[in-house]
Structure 1
Amino acid sequence: MQMIFNELSADFPTYTRQEGKDRMFNFLETYKKMKNIIKNDSVIIDKGYNEIKLSQNYTIYQWREDKSVDKEIKRLFRSFINKATTIDEMDFKENRLDLEISELKYEDKNAIGCLIAYETDNLVISFLSHDYWSKEIIEGKYFSLRDDFEYDEPQKVCVQNVSNEENIRIFERNNNHLNFQEHFKIVSGRDLWNKREMLFPNLIFCENVKSQLINDAQHFHISQIFNKLFILDRYFEKYDGNFDKDAIPNTTPESYSTLTQYKQEHKFRTPDGKELIFSWHVRFTGNYDGRIFFYPDNSCNKCYIGHIGRKLPTVKYPS
């Protein structure tokens, strides 16, 4: 799991310089607590962060040069920036986060941070600059182009937000899988594969997933994959044969045109020898654009996991 900076929260009303300092302090304290909870200290942030105004005529750059600011707070900020991924729209295109073919709007404002968090199933971290950003959930409208490049009807979507102590407590309460992962000492793909039956009794893994997990050396990937599998397993624990995609966050099927053109690439053999075409998938992020493809099996009320790795070819992205 990763934090994405909510750039809309950087639109500060006309606070005094001291109030701007206080909001920066609160932001960094929120970051410090969250990075310890999710075991990830990297935040995706706009590369123009130095020009954010904490108050009138007082930018983050000036705050960094301000000798009245506590040195420990500045040191925490340096750590925050050193670990951050500063990224612009060109980088987003290279990482295929679909910013050209999707939008998320909050009160008619284009919310890039919220869009990234929604598409990657992560969370945003916000300045506590307005009552909007004190809530643990940000609601917006999501627009996406189909394979025929026509817009779907806008969807009402939610993004998890942290900006204060109450948000953090709610996040911890709703994310027990983080403690679960730590308890079972899942730090690598090999750990996850070897303990899969104990951890995920309602999921059946295809054999090709083994090498995909073992060859992925990124702990950040494994943490996200664990989270997604945890959610899938809990859903299929009570599965009654009627699959509800809305019950699993950010679950989408491949389009008919993609499954027609790239049928073989989406076909996987199950442990009992069946060859199935996998359409449903959830996302994860990191050094590549990751996907977990799964297949609800109504005969046993469990779920096959067919692929955990790079995004498979689609009509939009053939390779």
Structure 2
Amino acid sequence: MSREFVFNDLSTRSIAPTVFEARQRMDKMVQSIAALYDTGSTLFTLGDIYRTILANDYLLSQWFSDRDADRESKAFFGRLSTKTALDAALPEAIQDRFQLSEFHIDGERAPALGLAFLLDGIAVSLPSEDLWRQAEIQLNHLWLDENAEEHRDEVTTLNIAELQQAQIVIDKLHERFLQELHEEPRSLWKRRQECFPHLAFGLDVEDRLCGLENAILPQVISKLMVLDGAVRNWRYEKRPEPQLPEVHPESQSTMQRYGDLRRFRDANGRDELFERHAMVGSQYCIHLRIIHASRQIEVGYIGPHLPISSAPT
């Protein structure tokens, strides 16, 4: 399941005072999306996004053709925005709930933010006001049930407008996932692409993962979250090597004696060496390999610590 974004049209109510600042706002918003983007992610809008007013006499459509605007930002946002299709793409159940709901913020209607809530997605805002620089936005929700009875409650939707909000949102998603995992521990493998969009997993991982005790799963998730974030940063910062905290290669003696035990099937079924490892607690580990050509980390093994030369088992 890919992440879904909704463009917050309320963030355009305070247009930029200059075209230069409008460009900066777009760059910041695009960077925040890129940090959370997953293959297949969709950006929903409630209107024609190309007619969005960014500054006086400067529409979003003009930003696309602006030679002084950042080319990478335009290319990325162009690919993402071509996937906008509100009525055609929304699940019927979401459409029904959306039509029976009203969302307000500070007395002003906020349908786009409400849609992000209903989709369990992420609102995308221009950093035009302090309000839109918050990672969580409170909404008043008025809705009708199947008996046409009126209900009111307060809800929260996640929101990004600048890169620094991305990590906060990732942490919030992590908290949600941990809660869902507590209720259904075996959902981890099914939701791996949604929760760890920057990681690849070999074919041998599923059976090992499903065989783990429930008590160790939260630690496994935390470690995978760290690895996923490291790959995201690697791709964005374009460093030659990823910054992987607490990930180590095996010793030469271990590889000479037990190297074959660190060979697993990759995502395509090929036999590959997954030498590097990250400890999970004191008795479990994750074995992985770095694929520099595609700036990817692939996980090949999650399970009990494998034998090493200093303490073979």
- Give the TM interval when normalised to the shorter protein: 0.5 to 0.7
- 8 A contact 2:98–2:118 mirrored in 1: no
The answer on 1:22 being equivalent to 2:20 is no
Q: Deviations over 1:19-38 (max 9, x none)?
A: 11111111111111111xx5
- 8 A contact 1:5–1:43 mirrored in 2: yes
Q: One-letter code of the match for 2:22?
A: G
Aligned residue runs from structure 1 range 188-203, under 5 A: 198=212
Q: One-letter code of the match for 1:147?
A: E
- 8 A contact 2:16–2:22 mirrored in 1: no
The CA distance in 2 between the partners of 1:168 and 1:161, in whole Å, is 9
Partner of 1:75: 75
The CA distance in 2 between the partners of 1:21 and 1:184, in whole Å, is 31
Aligned residue runs from structure 1 range 289-304, under 5 A: none
Q: One-letter code of the match for 1:165?
A: L
Q: One-letter code of the match for 1:126?
A: S
Q: One-letter code of the match for 2:49?
A: Y
Partner of 2:138: 139
- 8 A contact 2:31–2:163 mirrored in 1: no
Partner of 2:122: 123
- Aligned-pair CA distance for 1:49: 0.3
Partner of 2:11: 9
Q: Deviations over 1:259-318 (max 9, x none)?
A: xxxxxxxxxxxxxxxxxxxxxxxxxxxxxxxxxxxxxxxxxxxxxxxxxxxxxxxxxxxx
Q: Unpaired runs of 5+ in structure 2?
A: 179-187, 216-313
- 8 A contact 2:28–2:163 mirrored in 1: no
- 8 A contact 1:127–1:163 mirrored in 2: yes
- 8 A contact 2:104–2:141 mirrored in 1: yes
- 8 A contact 2:142–2:150 mirrored in 1: yes
The CA distance in 2 between the partners of 1:160 and 1:92, in whole Å, is 19
The CA distance in 2 between the partners of 1:6 and 1:199, in whole Å, is 42
The CA distance in 2 between the partners of 1:27 and 1:156, in whole Å, is 26
Q: One-letter code of the match for 2:134?
A: K
1:196–1:115 distance in 2 versus 1, CA, 3 Å:
farther
Any idea what SS the aligned residue of 2:149 has? Answer: coil
Any idea what SS the aligned residue of 1:30 has? Answer: helix
- 8 A contact 2:94–2:119 mirrored in 1: no
How large is the Cα RMSD of the aligned pairs?
3.6
Q: One-letter code of the match for 2:140?
A: K
- 8 A contact 1:124–1:162 mirrored in 2: yes
1:11–1:184 distance in 2 versus 1, CA, 3 Å:
closer
The CA distance in 2 between the partners of 1:120 and 1:59, in whole Å, is 28
The CA distance in 2 between the partners of 1:51 and 1:199, in whole Å, is 53
1:93–1:193 distance in 2 versus 1, CA, 3 Å:
same
- Aligned-pair CA distance for 1:105: 1.0
1:75–1:99 distance in 2 versus 1, CA, 3 Å:
same
Partner of 2:52: 52
Q: Unpaired runs of 5+ in structure 1?
A: 202-319
Any idea what SS the aligned residue of 2:165 has? Answer: helix
Q: Deviations over 1:164-204 (max 9, x none)?
A: 2331121233334599834996799xx87995564768xxx
- Aligned-pair CA distance for 1:142: 0.6
Partner of 2:273: none
TM-score w.r.t. the length of structure 1 is 0.53
- 8 A contact 1:4–1:117 mirrored in 2: yes
Aligned residue runs from structure 1 range 245-256, under 5 A: none
The CA distance in 2 between the partners of 1:174 and 1:138, in whole Å, is 13
1:200–1:56 distance in 2 versus 1, CA, 3 Å:
farther
The CA distance in 2 between the partners of 1:39 and 1:71, in whole Å, is 20
The CA distance in 2 between the partners of 1:131 and 1:156, in whole Å, is 21
Partner of 1:293: none
Identity, % of aligned positions: 19
- Aligned-pair CA distance for 1:95: 5.5
Q: One-letter code of the match for 2:117?
A: Y
The answer on 1:31 being equivalent to 2:49 is no
Partner of 1:301: none
> Relative to structure 2, which stretch is displaced further, 132-141 or 70-79?
70-79
The CA distance in 1 between the partners of 2:91 and 2:172, in whole Å, is 32
- Aligned-pair CA distance for 1:16: 0.9
Runs of 4+ in 1 over 3 A off after TM superposition: 38-41, 90-96, 174-188, 191-201
- 8 A contact 1:92–1:99 mirrored in 2: no
1:95–1:164 distance in 2 versus 1, CA, 3 Å:
same
* Higher radius of gyration, 1 or 2: 2
- 8 A contact 2:27–2:70 mirrored in 1: no
Partner of 1:107: 106
